[in-house]
């Protein structure tokens, strides 16, 4: 049974935080160990350009994200880990797919509609104000990311499901118009993924500025944990662990037994100060080893670059052959290109012509032999067949010597056939 391809993109616009790790990185790395799947992970640096025009931030984020995934144990021998911009086939495929995609489909994209609605709500006459073509058409780039490797499964949040449906639409239109080259991908939404709370209790997000950087220093980690919002319950008063950001973060890292023990302490009235200290010490111990590895990698970015180049080589072993097929299917071909089917038809025609020529030659031979029947009758009637055959050949050769042009050619053909037929007597 062939492996299914799972593809995940990571946008390079920020520093990885604990929410990224728990919600995406950790489950993705665990899934990449499953031998039933062929996992592809890429730094989506072209996507970063859609909203972020700070080159230093994009470049720094690429470094940090690559180092983070490696520090957390991604096995690049099992998974393909690459940078989107190292695969030139992706932007080329994006253009080909752009020419297959209706504007109406892009008009329905959530991000574009949200920008239009925001402009309308603020009373702007130009509803496309601030909308770049990157924002408008980035679902096509996302489609190219997916279809370039004929990915079967795309793990996404609910807000990204529409883009997978768009990728299916684009693939279907290409397949119908040109050639059936693309699989129709399936979105994988993990309903079990829990919301990772930030410092203020809301979802941990750069948008809310409530994140805890995954590999910040111990001092900064302690400082950020101390900022986590709690209620006013005093020490000794039972605390609700299910509504506590402190407990929820603890339980995301802890095993079942440790989480159960900590839950009991909350019910027994642990002080918030003690709860924060416990969380800091636990997270710091959990993150210390990968943090050290992360800083090693950030200090030797040549090693990280080498890993990405190795991943690009693996990825292009898949992307180049497929793009060749896509280009040919769309008509982007060498001038002397002959389609395989047409080539087979030409070969079949040649073989058929050879058979026809052979049949025609055999018919011509039989016709000439019929005209020479009197010579064969003479040989059959003679007592010395060999002598008679030799005599006939002499007579025919003498006749040939007296003729010119077409008559001579006809006589030469007859002499050739007689020589072949009488060979049995004259050897």
Q: Each residue of 192-210: pLDDT tens digit?
A: 566 789 999 888 988 888 9
Calculate the CA dihedral of residues 89, 6, 205, 86 and round it to 10 degrees: -20
Q: What is the mean pLDDT of residues 278-288?
A: 95
Residue 193's pLDDT is: 60
How far is the C-alpha of 421 from the C-alpha of 262, rounded, in Å?
Answer: 107
* Cβ(97)–Cβ(174) below 8 Å: yes
* Cβ(131)–Cβ(115) below 8 Å: yes
* Cβ(69)–Cβ(41) below 8 Å: yes
Of the pLDDT bands very low, low, confident and very high (cuts 50, 70, 90), residue 191 is low
How far is the C-alpha of 398 from the C-alpha of 188, rounded, in Å?
Answer: 92
> What pTM did the predictor assign?
0.76
Q: Each residue of 125-138: pLDDT tens digit?
A: 999 999 999 999 99
Neighbours of 144 (CB within 10 A): 27
Residue 207's pLDDT is: 82
Residue 94, pLDDT > 90, answer yes
Residue 80's pLDDT is: 97
């Amino acid at each position: 049974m062939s492996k299914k391809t799972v593809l995940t993109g990571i946008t390079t616009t920020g520093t990885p935080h604990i929410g990224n790790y728990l919600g995406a990185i950790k489950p993705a790395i665990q899934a990449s160990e499953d031998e039933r799947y062929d996992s592809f992970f890429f730094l989506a640096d072209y996507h970063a350009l859609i909203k972020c025009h700070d080159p230093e931030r994009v470049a720094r984020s690429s470094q940090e994200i690559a180092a983070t995934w490696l520090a957390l144990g991604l096995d690049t021998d099992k998974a393909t880990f690459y940078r989107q911009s190292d695969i030139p086939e992706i932007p080329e495929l994006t253009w080909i797919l752009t020419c297959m995609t209706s504007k109406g489909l892009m008009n329905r994209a959530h991000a574009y509609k949200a920008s239009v609605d925001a402009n309308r709500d603020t009373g702007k006459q130009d509803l496309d104000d601030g909308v770049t073509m990157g924002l408008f058409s980035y679902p096509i780039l996302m489609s190219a990311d997916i279809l370039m490797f004929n990915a079967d499964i795309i793990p996404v949040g609910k807000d990204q499901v529409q883009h997978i449906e768009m990728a299916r639409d684009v693939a279907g239109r290409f397949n119908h118009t040109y050639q059936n080259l693309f699989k129709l991908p399936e979105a994988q939404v993990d309903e079990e993924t829990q919301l990772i709370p930030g410092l203020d209790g809301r979802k941990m997000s750069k948008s809310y500025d409530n994140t805890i950087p995954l590999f910040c220093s111990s001092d900064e980690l302690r400082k950020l944990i101390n900022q986590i919002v709690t209620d006013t319950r005093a020490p000794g008063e039972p605390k609700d662990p299910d509504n506590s950001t402190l407990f929820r973060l603890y339980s995301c890292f802890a095993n079942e037994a440790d989480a159960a023990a900590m839950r009991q302490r909350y019910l027994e009235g642990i002080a918030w100060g003690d709860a924060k200290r416990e969380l800091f010490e636990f997270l710091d111990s959990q993150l210390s080893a990968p943090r050290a590895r992360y800083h090693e990698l950030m200090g030797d970015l040549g090693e990280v670059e080498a890993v990405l180049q190795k991943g690009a080589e693996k990825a292009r072993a898949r992307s180049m052959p497929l793009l060749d097929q896509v280009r040919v299917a769309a008509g982007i071909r060498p001038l002397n290109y002959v389609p395989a089917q047409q080539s087979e038809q030409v070969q079949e025609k040649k073989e058929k012509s050879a058979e026809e020529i052979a049949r025609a030659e055999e018919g011509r031979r039989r016709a000439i032999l019929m005209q020479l029947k009197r010579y064969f009758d003479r040989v059959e009637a003679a007592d010395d067949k060999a002598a008679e055959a030799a005599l006939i050949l002499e007579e025919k050769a003498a006749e040939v010597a007296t003729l010119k042009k077409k008559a001579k050619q006809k006589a030469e053909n007859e002499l050739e056939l007689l020589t072949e037929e009488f060979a049995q007597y004259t050897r």
